[in-house]
Amino acid sequence: MSDSISAEQLRLFIERIERLEEEKKGIADDIKDVYAEAKSTGFDTKTMRAIVKLRKMEKHHRDEAEALLDTYKAALGLA
């Protein structure tokens, strides 16, 4: 009896994951469309992606990353 319950529960988990994967693909496509629209109006999407990445970071992590970047640039004569 528990095998059929476990199998049913597993099937439900798999179906939920499949639905979420489908939604994730749709959202990824929407994000791609927004970047394409921004690019068509003259924005640099590489820079936009960098900004989005920075905005996801907590301030102290962002400050640390920027300090490391400045240190590395200075070491390589890029500053």
DSSP assignment letter at 79 = -
Burial class (CB in 10 A: 0-12, 13-18, 19+), 48: middle
pLDDT reported for residue 4: 76
pLDDT reported for residue 48: 98
pLDDT reported for residue 5: 81
pLDDT reported for residue 27: 98
Q: What is the pLDDT along the chain (79 residues), one digit of tens a residue?
A: 567 789 999 999 999 999 999 999 999 999 999 999 999 999 999 999 999 999 999 999 999 999 999 999 999 999 8
pTM above 0.75, yes or no: no
pLDDT reported for residue 2: 66
Query: Alpha carbon of 26 to those of 1, 29, 31, 46, 49: distances in Å?
Result: 38, 5, 9, 21, 19
